[in-house]
Amino acid sequence: MKSIEPSNPEHDDCTTKKIREFWSENVNAERIMDKNVSEHKRGQEGYFSDLEQQRYRSHQHLIPWIKSMTPGKSVLEIGCGIGLDSFTIAKHGMLLTSMDLTDIGVNTAKNRFNTQGVSGSFLAANACTLPFKDHSFDYIYSFGVLHHVADTKQSIKEVYRVLHTNGEALIMLYNRISLNELIHRITRIPFEEKSKLCPVVRRYSKTEIKDLFHDFSSVDIQLEYVYGEGYGKIFRFTPRWLYKILSHYLGWHIMIRATK
């Protein structure tokens, strides 16, 4: 592979279709660097267990972020994929509505919720045109999704629109000023699949993030996740204290908490 995805690609009428096709063929969280995370068939409980263990082992900042939301409040999850975070959010006691661009993500997540008797609502929808009325949710949650949509700026406007007054958006977007960005530029390995280019993988600076969220009354930004299990032994043997320091300054995840 001789190139990586551009940080701010143009989009056209076909972009959303390309994004849907890519994530339908390359279901998020199932592979790391082209290696399957689970040997179980998609939808089996062992499959979910394996993927959840990997996700929260590698993303140790994620569960505390989810649990910072107040139980009993309404939350829209944008880009649920197969519903790993959806399940954690629902078990935390949130009134959950989850959406994804792909039918395969929505159906896989919905079937698990139905099998386990967990409450949640699922639908296939586009983040750039949310099918909800103004002021519909207490929280919007979207982890690692809106940098993959056709028009990220428009999706943030939609997040603002459907939030209640004083509601909170918990959004993760990729950081261009990061160690992970540098490594990918040096190795020329694509960001989402080792041997395939994802249609859209936008990356931002902190200044650009503040501009994206300028309509919100307050925006808190923190960096997390300097690198993950795709880095093999480097990830496993990095002391946690050093990992946290590196993440604070060079993290790949811009964790955004924006209040309307």
Pinpoint the alpha helices (H) of 26-83: 45-58, 62-67
Q: 213 in the Ramachandran plot: left (φ > 0), alpha (ψ -120 to 50) or beta?
A: alpha
Asked, for residue 120, whether it belongs to a domain, the answer is: yes
Say if residues 253 and 172 touch (Cβ distance below 8 Å): yes
User: Hey, what are 224's tokens?
Assistant: 């997390």
pLDDT of residue 13: 84
Asked, for residue 3, whether it belongs to a domain, the answer is: no
User: In 3-state terms, what secondary structure has residue 81?
Assistant: coil
pLDDT digits (tens, 9 = 90+) for 61-85: 999 999 999 999 999 999 999 999 9
Asked, for residue 59, whether it belongs to a domain, the answer is: yes
Number of domains the chain is built from: 1
Q: What is the DSSP string of 214-249?
A: TTSSEEEEEEE-S--GGGTHHHHHS-HHHHHHHHHH
Asked, for residue 230, whether it belongs to a domain, the answer is: yes
Asked, for residue 6, whether it belongs to a domain, the answer is: no
What CATH number has the domain bearing residue 57?
A: 3.40.50.150
Length of the chain (residues): 260
Asked, for residue 9, whether it belongs to a domain, the answer is: no
Residue ranges in the chain modelled with pLDDT below 70: 1-2
User: Hey, what are 161's tokens?
Assistant: 């629109």
- Measured from the Cβ of residue 170, the count of other Cβ atoms closer than 10 Å reads 19
Pinpoint the alpha helices (H) of the chain: 15-25, 45-58, 62-67, 84-91, 103-116, 152-162, 179-187, 206-212, 233-237, 240-250
CA distances from 142 to 118, 176, 179, 216 (A): 20, 18, 23, 16
Which residue, 249, 251, 248, 237, is CA-closest to 181? Answer: 251
Asked, for residue 1, whether it belongs to a domain, the answer is: no
pLDDT of residue 2: 61
Asked, for residue 7, whether it belongs to a domain, the answer is: no
pLDDT digits (tens, 9 = 90+) for 28-62: 999 988 889 999 999 999 999 999 999 999 999 99
pLDDT of residue 192: 93
Provide the domain limits for residue 48: 15-259
